[in-house]
Structure 1
């Protein structure tokens, strides 16, 4: 693990240096122009890199990350593709409205408004963590706009019936979900996740982060600075709490939409050291929707696979895009 100086941590937590600024490149590790839209009903940040007439690759992050997770993939693809990475409400450089709920349907609604406002078509979805459920929600509503689907440690669920048994079984062996289910009824969930800026490293680690060489002041600031106060943590709290209380509702496509989605080229890349979304429970979910799809299992790679194995994942995705 790379040493993080005491002075560096002190600067990291100083008021005024903790909030994520829209133009912050995190010491050049995220050198992408900030863009914003109010189409979803809040100030939504997104990256839009590459040729404007290129095929659209839409990258959807999960908990508690943001577009920074895709920094290497963006760099790899932006020469040939239009790579777009929005930050969900309450995450990254997007606004955290205090008068909104943060359930799955809210995030699907937000993404739908974003995609329609930019009129994105022939979309390749790249999914990670709960971005999988959000992206599949978009696909269920607008299958005509989806060209390919790529799951990178991102579930691909349709409806509660196909998912509830897997979520229950997964929660029994996942430290993260086990903690959520215990902490919420005991009143500890909001207190802990409300200080996410200060415990970001332990949160990432418990979920399955293996590449300790990345840990330095810049990396900690990139992931932690978003969550300066409990109010800033509403997005992270909402996703976890929604799971605990059963507030998330997964989209169900009609028969025609399902047939259309299943006809699309699909790819799964799964870090097998994922302690949050275990492959044994979620890869069968993917294969159930896409039985002929290619699957790459990456040994020693954790839940945050884009940080753990950026070159391998970018390579698999680039080849898949070229071949399909």
Structure 2
């Protein structure tokens, strides 16, 4: 049994002290793991343990999330998060990689992909939406929020709501460790973090506006694509997973009877699919 050594580091990106986890040989295929809301790179700990002995895995925390430290006055928007991740990629010298996009990792990752198409050797999408048909009524209501409706956003930042994102839609809630939502809530409760999340919530509509551009990128570049999706996600419904096949017909699609944080419950089923995918496309991501 090979268990990887995992390094926990910081790198400065234009004044943002970005925390990241890194494991695996640097000359192996690289997988850039982009986390979701309201989590951080810790959501990938089990996946890193499962794959980090043979692949190069890198997982940063965005500004406003996890251990990353942003300066006072940092302007929180999805463009700004993508700017930092792009600088992070440059800072680590990552020239070619497979992109894992989950939840917020989709709008961050697709911005990066459209800016750096030559960097994307493959795409793994896990409950990361890029199509209007993938938005549930709950998600549409969230996207429609704006200034003056801060209290509705703040209602999503409570422990009850955070836990619900993990357990909602799960077929076996006992398989989901409480560590994830507990740690997420710790970070959400730090000074200034709720304000950053409100700003991002109000900016989420900018992602929907970019869906056509991301779809055009998919049609033009046809990256090798693996889609793994919790079909009981209350935010991003399975129609959003199937929609990718319209632009990338060769994509491999797997739906699982679980919720939004699919890796929490279905890692034993999903990890082998990722291994198979990396074996096929990974030689182009070193």
TM range (shorter): 0.7 to 0.9
Greater percentage in strand: 2
User: Partner residue of 1:86?
Assistant: 60
Superposed CA offset, 1:222-274 (max 9, x none):
2221122451223432332223xx3446383798x666631x21110111111
CA distance in 1 between partners of 2:114 and 2:258 (Å): 30
> Structure 1: which 5+ residue stretches go unaligned?
1-29, 158-162
Q: 1:307 aligns with which of 243, 261, 264?
A: 264
User: Partner residue of 1:146?
Assistant: 120
CA distance in 2 between partners of 1:129 and 1:86 (Å): 15
C-alpha contact (below 8 Å) 1:201/1:220 kept by paired residues: yes
Superposed CA offset, 1:144-185 (max 9, x none):
111111111112x3xxxxx4x436xx242x3x5535646864
CA RMSD of aligned residues (A): 2.9
CA change 1:214–1:92 in 2 (3 A) is farther
C-alpha contact (below 8 Å) 2:154/2:198 kept by paired residues: no
CA change 1:211–1:137 in 2 (3 A) is farther
User: Partner residue of 2:174?
Assistant: 213
CA change 1:180–1:283 in 2 (3 A) is closer
User: Where in structure 2 are the equivalents of 1:194-209 lying within 5 Å?
Assistant: 196=158, 200-205=162-167, 208=169
CA change 1:54–1:105 in 2 (3 A) is same
Greater percentage in helix: 2
Q: 1:49 aligns with which of 17, 23, 40?
A: 23
CA change 1:261–1:105 in 2 (3 A) is same
Q: Is 2:75 the partner of 1:116?
A: no
Shift of 1:106: 1.0
User: Partner residue of 2:284?
Assistant: none
> Structure 2: which 5+ residue stretches go unaligned?
282-286
Superposed CA offset, 1:116-147 (max 9, x none):
12120220011100201211111111111111
- TM-score normalised according to structure 1 size: 0.75
User: Where in structure 2 are the equivalents of 1:174-189 lying within 5 Å?
Assistant: 174=138, 177-178=140-141, 181=144, 185-189=148-152
Q: 1:292 aligns with which of 228, 250, 253?
A: 250
